[in-house]
Amino acid sequence: MSAQTPEVRSTEQLREKWMKPEVITGSEILLRSLLLEGVECVFGYPGGAVLYIYDAMYGFEDFKHVLTRHEQGAIHAADGYARASGKVGVCIATSGPGATNLVTGIATAYMDSVPMVVITGNVATTLIGTDAFQEADITGITMPITKHSYLVRDVKDLPRVIHEAFHIASTGRKGPVLIDIPKDVSAAKELFQPAAGVQLRGYNPRTVPNRLQLDKLCRAIEDAERPLILAGGGVIYSGAHEALFEFVNQTQIPITTTLLGLGAFPSGHDLWTGMPGMHGTYTSNHAIQQSDLLINIGARFDDRVTGKLDGFAPHAKIVHIDIDPAEIGKNVPTDIPIVGDVKTVLEMLIPSAPKAGKADAWRDQVTKWKAEYPYRYTDSEEVLKPQWVIEMLNETTKGEAIVTTDVGQHQMWAAQYYKFNQPRSWITSGGLGTMGFGFPAAIGAQTANPDRLVISVNGDGGMQMCSQELAICAINNIPVKIVVINNQVLGMVRQWQELIYENRYSHIDLAGSPDFVKLAEAYGVKGLRATTKEEARSAWAEAMDTPGPVLIDFVVEKGENVYPMVTQGSTIDQMLMGDA
């Protein structure tokens, strides 16, 4: 205990310093309030409307800020930080174009229920509504894609607003909250008094479920002959992975995890069937279609999971567990709705949940499907296959890395061939499908987990959308290993044009892309290239042995497709399996 005392005292002394009642500017109030919320790092980009805030950072050693090279890089990094840590991510941008450059990142976080506080500057309150220089109604623009937003008109409200924003972002169904601070508010002085508590009329997320609904679920499990669990990102966001593991072992129900649910359940477990949906496993999709009880835990029945809605899980009684009542019954009619926090629900279920005693034959069937229909591809000794690259990453890291991805074919290959055994190790843009997300998200994830290996898997298209953030890795020695799956084409678009648009390839050629090795070196990051398996193994080994950031350009076969694939308008068991 004595060895820890100096650190504890230091933290207490810092909090006392931050909470000291003084007459200070709104900018200083903002920084102190963020520190009192436990913020460890803020990602941002300065500009005229936030200069008072950045001036307050000058010499403020307790406050850590990472200067990105684009506002979109800042918000994706804050998003990656939040997903990897479970804490609230924070970013700052100026008014007008600075604020509007955050919009895609806000929508990304909103679609995937990521807790974030987004701080923007605005013109002075006297100029709002006059079309002043760099004015934009950012609260109006982002209203459909934020959980809540504030336009702060009085410096006295800042401590309360900041405290409320963190509470809203991190409770219930998590999501982004925006705080817009006019320039005169950030300059005004006021006696700082930290917010004492949160009282929000009408905002009381329900976390404890109805006990009668849990009893109905237990009876349904007893009666089911072909039960299946569909687990989503809500399991990870609520910290329910251990409870889910116990629930599955107790009930002996097979389980499939969605794209955002990967890592919520160990991939090596006998009852895990893989990912469902458009590029999911044969086992998961056929299990959904043949199940007589489908238990959705923290997923939202996304169209990429359900396929043709009127043909989805046609024989199943549907159970939906979710903290957001608006999701229950929204897409798929629900027989047993259970509103509550996933972790709380599972912990209440475990003492009484029965084993699915009538499902022995079903478990045998699922095991047989897994053996007969794994993910397959046709390997080659002549060209580098992208699936093989992901398998190599998985084997050499034993599935223990944090993996972030951009969006496209490489994203699906990473989801299929990298095996996740713990939560918050898989970070990808699911709902919005945001190109440019993966690399800056990896910077945020590495910032949150400085001692873990972070791999950023990107396509050659998405890598060019935020490649300027290579500067951050070089300057701050952020040791992300940056993988480019380079097929010189917009791969997923090409695949659709091949299979659905009868080989009419329209505007997908990326052959004019830069030399990614030289691009990395221009920013001061080591760059390596591989075109064969031998070169790939050697380059990856060198990257792993390098203490700082490294970019590896894996030149892969251009025409490779992601299989299985379910085309739009089909049920999820109508799968294109590919040549393999």
With 0-12 CB in 10 A as exposed, 13-18 as middle and 19+ as buried, what is 373? middle
Of 119, 189, 111, 130, the closest CA to residue 154 belongs to: 189
Q: Which of 12, 20, 22, 133 is catalytic?
A: 133
Interatomic CA distance for residues 169 and 446, integer angstroms: 22
Catalytic residue among 116, 278, 463, 492: 492
Q: How far apart are CA 300 and CA 499, in angstroms?
A: 28
Strand partners, 116: 89, 176
Catalytic residue list contains 133: yes
* 225 catalytic per annotation: no
Taking the alpha carbons at both ends of the chain, their separation in whole angstroms is 60
Residue 86 to residue 63: CA distance in whole angstroms: 20
247 has catalytic annotation:
no
Classify burial at 503, counting beta carbons within 10 Å of its beta carbon; exposed 0-12, middle 13-18, buried 19 or more.
exposed
Q: Minimal CA–CA distance to 440: which of 45, 91, 77? A: 77
- Catalytic residue among 19, 40, 60, 134, which? 134
Taking the C-alpha atoms of residue 512 and residue 522, their distance in angstroms, rounded to an integer, is: 18
Other CB atoms within a 10 A radius of the CB of residue 496 amount to 16
| DSSP result, 405-431 | E-SSHHHHHHHHHS---STT-EE---S
Q: How far apart are CA 483 and CA 552, in angstroms?
A: 5
Pairing of strands 189-191, 23-25: antiparallel
Does an H or E element contain 73, and which? helix 71-85
* Catalytic residue (choose from 28, 37, 63, 71): 71
The answer to whether residues 258 and 299 touch, using CB atoms and an 8 Å cutoff, is yes
- Catalytic-residue membership of 412: no
DSSP string, 11-66: HHHHHHHHH---EEEHHHHHHHHHHHTT---EEE---GGGHHHHHHHTT-TT--EE
| Whether the bond into 564 is cis, omega within 30 of 0 | yes
Task: Indicate if 183 belongs to the active site.
Answer: yes
CA distances 136 to 96, 149, 176, Å, are 5, 14, 19
- Rounded CA gap, 380 and 374, in Å? 18
Catalytic residue among 174, 183, 370, 481: 183
Q: Output the CA angle 440-484-414, nearest 5 degrees.
A: 85
CB 271 within 8 A of CB 363: yes
Strand order in the sheet with 550-555: 426-427, 402-405, 454-459, 481-486, 550-555, 526-530
HEC assignment per residue over 430-458 = CCCCCCCCHHHHHHHHHHHCCCCCEEEEE
The residues that are catalytic are 71, 133-134, 183, 492
